[in-house]
Amino acid sequence: MSGAGAAARRETARRPADSWTRALRERIERTVPPGQALPDRQPVFVSSWIYVFGVLTVASLVVVVATGCVLAVGGVAWWHVSSLGHFVNSLHLWSVELFFGFMVIHLWGKFWMAAWRGGRLLTWVTGVIAFVTSIGTAFTGYLSQSNFDSQWISAEAKDGINAIGVGAWFNVLNPGQMLLWHVVLLPLAIGLITVLHVVLVRRHGVVPPIDARDGE
């Protein structure tokens, strides 16, 4: 058995170093340094309240997605006639309201902190893109209510959408198309951008205050 074990070890040693598993592991380590993905300590300046709103934004996004999935299970209009649907729809609405409130505070806080410092430009850009994409997602959500409000909003919005030349493929008068944008395409985009944003934050670390001293 010992001879077989030694032979297996020699065979492992002769394997090429450029295997895909090793390349993937090294890629992950280059993207997020060891110990940065889930750190157990943070710089002292992170105890400030302004650093809380990024986490609150992600937490409210999780509630938005969870309640949206529950609404999707029942169909496109069941929340209008079901008490449970009313409750879940209210959770979905207010989690969206909190999501935008937290995100706006987070965005403005990082703007005044010049959060693009220290090689964090892409982190800032992905945050802004996530905010703009969220506006489109909320807009299509209003168009997917299957009530008079959604009809009125879509009728009022069609001229503006057509004026910018995108009405041919983004038809706000088509409730089915708007529903798919709301529950599939835009949430997928927000999810991917959010993951990239969080990875970049973990890679570069949270931005320190402008007046932070070295070593804090």
105 in any annotated domain = yes
Question: In terms of pLDDT, which residue wins out, 92 or 76?
Answer: 92
2 in any annotated domain = no
Question: In terms of pLDDT, which residue wins out, 123 or 28?
Answer: 123
pLDDT of 69 reads 94
Count Cβ atoms within 10 A of the Cβ of residue 67 and give its class: 0-12 exposed, 13-18 middle, 19 or more buried. Answer: buried
pLDDT of 122 reads 94
Phi, psi of 197 (to 5 degrees): -60, -45
Q: How far is CA 203 from the centre of its chain?
A: 17
178 in any annotated domain = yes
Whole-number percent of the chain with pLDDT over 90: 59
216 in any annotated domain = no
Per the structure, the complete domain to which residue 134 belongs is given by: 96-204
- Which CATH number fits the domain that encloses residue 114? 1.20.810.10
63 in any annotated domain = no
116 in any annotated domain = yes
CB 140 within 8 A of CB 186: yes
At 215, is the pLDDT very low, low, confident or very high (cuts 50, 70, 90)?
Answer: very low
Give the Cα separation of 46 and 44 in Å (integer).
5
The alpha-helical segments, DSSP class H, found in the chain are: 2-14, 20-31, 52-74, 83-112, 121-143, 148-163, 175-180, 186-204
How do residues 69-86 score in pLDDT, each as one tens digit?
Answer: 999 998 888 898 999 999
75 in any annotated domain = no
How do residues 131-164 score in pLDDT, each as one tens digit?
Answer: 999 999 999 999 999 889 999 999 999 999 999 8
Residues 6+ apart with CB under 8 A from 198: 58
CB 118 within 8 A of CB 207: yes
Phi, psi of 4 (to 5 degrees): -65, -40
Question: In terms of pLDDT, which residue wins out, 73 or 216?
Answer: 73
Q: How many domains does the chain have?
A: 1
78 in any annotated domain = no
pLDDT of 118 reads 87
